[in-house]
Homo-oligomer: A and B are copies of this chain.
Amino acid sequence: MARTGRRPGHSGARQAILEAAREAFCEHGYDRASIRAIAGRARVDPALVHHYFGTKQQLFVAAVQLPLQPAEVIGQLPDGDPGTVGERLIRFYLGIGDNRGDRDVVIGLLRSAATSEPAAALLRQFAAEAGIGWMAVQLDPPNARLRPTLVASQLIGLFMLRYIIKVEPLASASVEEVVAAVAPTVQRYLTAELDLQPSL
């Protein structure tokens, strides 16, 4: 995540700003990543950042969404065997963790949401509108809207411990070991009887 030293032309400036923003949000979180520092990292004028992306919030949304298209993958999940949807989801998620660019985006997202209310609000909105809302309509009631948040709680905690805080032996466990341990949890949250009150 070091400064690359490139000096982009006009056509590359937008991409360079996005990469610099991703690096800055990953390293420092939303609050501490300033437009000025992002511009410096991308070797452009801060005014150009505002010109391309508007506010810092809008830059954050653009930076954390570009390389990841989880909605597309999640959209394909119901196509396969319903009995393996938990395993497929955890495999997709571990694939994000194994890809450095994608992993840095998620780390930036979680660091920002953990420490900044504006970033947390964006994540809540994103969760309601895109990922979790989309998943919820695929699930049978009752508890259709609670189920994806339970899945998210397991996946986000796994990401925190394995890739950010790096607690052993979870950080070094193989993909297959994590899948064997966690897939049944995700499967149950998505498809099994949860035995809650019908009010949710």
- Please determine whether A196 and B181 come into contact, CB atoms closer than 8 angstroms: yes
Instruction: Say how far A110's CB is from chain B's closest CB, in angstroms.
Output: 6
Report B-chain residues with C-beta under 8 Å of the C-beta of A152. 157, 161, 167
Report B-chain residues with C-beta under 8 Å of the C-beta of A195. 180
On whether A154 and B185 interact (CB within 8 A), knowing A32-B32, A146-B173, A149-B161, the answer reads yes
On whether A197 and B177 interact (CB within 8 A), knowing A153-B170, A157-B154, A169-B149, the answer reads yes
Report B-chain residues with C-beta under 8 Å of the C-beta of A196. 177, 180-181
| A189 and B170 alpha carbons, distance in the complex (Å) | 13
Interface: A68 (CB within 8 A): no
On whether A153 and B162 interact (CB within 8 A), knowing A132-B167, A188-B185, A197-B177, the answer reads yes
State the majority secondary structure of interface residues on A.
Answer: helix
| A28 and B114 alpha carbons, distance in the complex (Å) | 10
Interface residue stretch chosen among A8-16, A37-45, A55-63, A121-129: A121-129
Report B-chain residues with C-beta under 8 Å of the C-beta of A169. 145-146, 149, 200
| A180 and B29 alpha carbons, distance in the complex (Å) | 34
In the complex, chain A residues 75-132 whose Cβ is within 8 Å of any chain B Cβ: 110-111, 113-115, 120, 123-124, 127-128, 132
Instruction: Say how far A74's CB is from chain B's closest CB, in angstroms.
Output: 16
Q: Out of B146, B155, B168, B188, which one reaches A184, CB within 8 Å?
A: B188
- Please determine whether B146 and A153 come into contact, CB atoms closer than 8 angstroms: no
- Please determine whether A161 and B153 come into contact, CB atoms closer than 8 angstroms: yes
- Please determine whether A200 and B177 come into contact, CB atoms closer than 8 angstroms: yes
Instruction: Say how far A158's CB is from chain B's closest CB, in angstroms.
Output: 4
Listed in ascending order, the chain A residues whose CB lies under 8 Å from chain B are 28-29, 32, 110-111, 113-115, 120, 123-124, 127-128, 132, 145-146, 149-150, 152-158, 160-162, 164-170, 173-174, 176-177, 180-182, 184-185, 188-189, 194-197, 200
